[in-house]
Amino acid sequence: MLTTHRRTVLKGAAAFAGAALAAPFVSRQGFAQGSSGTVNIFAWAGYINDELLAAFEKATGIKARYTPYGTNDELLNQLRANNGGGFDIIWPTVDRVPNYVEFDLVQPIDESKVEVARCLPGAWKNSETLGAVVDGKRYQVPADWGTEAIAFDRDQSPLEYGTASYGDIWKPESEGKATVRGHSSLVGLGLWLEAEGKLPRPLRDAFTSPEAQTEIFDVILAEAIARKGNIVQFWSNENEAQGAFRVNGATIGQTWDSTAAALGKEGLPVGFIAPKEGALAWMEGISIPKGAENLEQAYAFINFFLTPEAGALYSNATSINSTAVGADALLSEEAKAFFANAYPGDALDKLWWWPVQESWYVAKRNEYQDKFLSA
Both 130 and 26 in one domain: the answer is yes
pTM of the model: 0.86
Task: Kindly tell me if the per-residue pLDDT of 335 is higher than 90.
Answer: yes
Mean pLDDT of 334-346: 95
169 with 225, same domain? Answer: yes
93 or 27: which carries more pLDDT confidence? 93
Q: What is the pLDDT of residue 36?
A: 82
Q: Is residue 259 part of a domain?
A: yes
Q: What is the pLDDT of residues 349-373, one digit of tens each?
A: 999 999 999 999 999 999 999 999 9
One domain, residues 161 and 225 = yes
In a domain, 15, yes or no: yes
The answer to the question of residue 256 being in a domain is: yes
Residues 70 and 177 placed together within one structural domain of the fold: no
322 within some domain: yes
Work out the average pLDDT over 218-241. 97
Q: What is the pLDDT of residues 260-298, one digit of tens each?
A: 999 999 999 999 999 999 999 999 999 999 999 999 999
Q: Is the pLDDT of residue 315 over 50?
A: yes
Name which of 13-22, 82-91, 94-103 the model is least confident about: 13-22
What mean pLDDT do residues 112-122 have? 97
Query: Is position 119 within any domain?
Result: yes
Q: Predicted confidence band at 2 (pLDDT cuts at 50, 70, 90)?
A: very low
Domain co-membership, 138 together with 160: no
3-class secondary structure per residue, the chain: CCCCCHHHHHCCCCCCCCCCCCCCCCCCCCCCCCCCCEEEEEEECCCCCHHHHHHHHHHHCCEEEEEEECCHHHHHHHHHHCCCCCCCEECCEHHHHHHHHHCCCEECCCHHHCCHHHECHHHHHHHHHHHHEECCEECCEEEEEEEEEEEEECCCCCCCCCCCCCHHHHCHHHCCCEEEEHHHHHHHHHHHHHHCCCCCCCHHHHHCCHHHHHHHHHHHHHHHHHCHHHEEEEECCHHHHHHHHHCCCCCEEEEEHHHHHHHHHCCCCEEEECCCCCCEEEEEEEEEECCCCCHHHHHHHHHHHCCHHHHHHHHHHHCCEECECCHHHHCCHHHHHHHHHHCCCCCCCCCEECCCCCHHHHHHHHHHHHHHHHC
> Which domain, by its residues, includes 26?
6-145+281-342
Same domain, 126 and 179: no
Average pLDDT along the chain: 91
For residues 159 and 78, membership in a common domain is answered with no
Does 16 have pLDDT greater than 50? no
**Residues 88-117, mean pLDDT to the nearest whole number:** 97
pLDDT digits (tens, 9 = 90+) for 120-139: 999 999 999 999 999 999 99
Please indicate, yes or no, whether residues 139 and 251 belong to a single structural domain of this protein. Answer: no
Q: Residue 1 falls within a domain, yes or no?
A: no
pLDDT of residue 21: 29
Say if 44 falls within a structural domain. yes
How would residue 26 be classed by pLDDT, with cut points 50, 70 and 90?
very low
Domain count, the chain: 2
Tell me the average pLDDT across 6-11.
41
More confident residue, 8 or 231: 231
Instruction: Give the mean model confidence (pLDDT) for residues 328-341.
Output: 94
301 and 177 in a single domain? The answer is no
237 lies in the same domain as 301:
no
128 and 171 together in one domain: no
pLDDT computed for residue 213 by the predictor: 98
Residue 31: per-residue pLDDT: 52
Q: Inform me whether the pLDDT recorded for 13 exceeds 50.
A: no
CATH code of 231's domain: 3.40.190.10
Is the domain of 153 the same as that of 127?
no
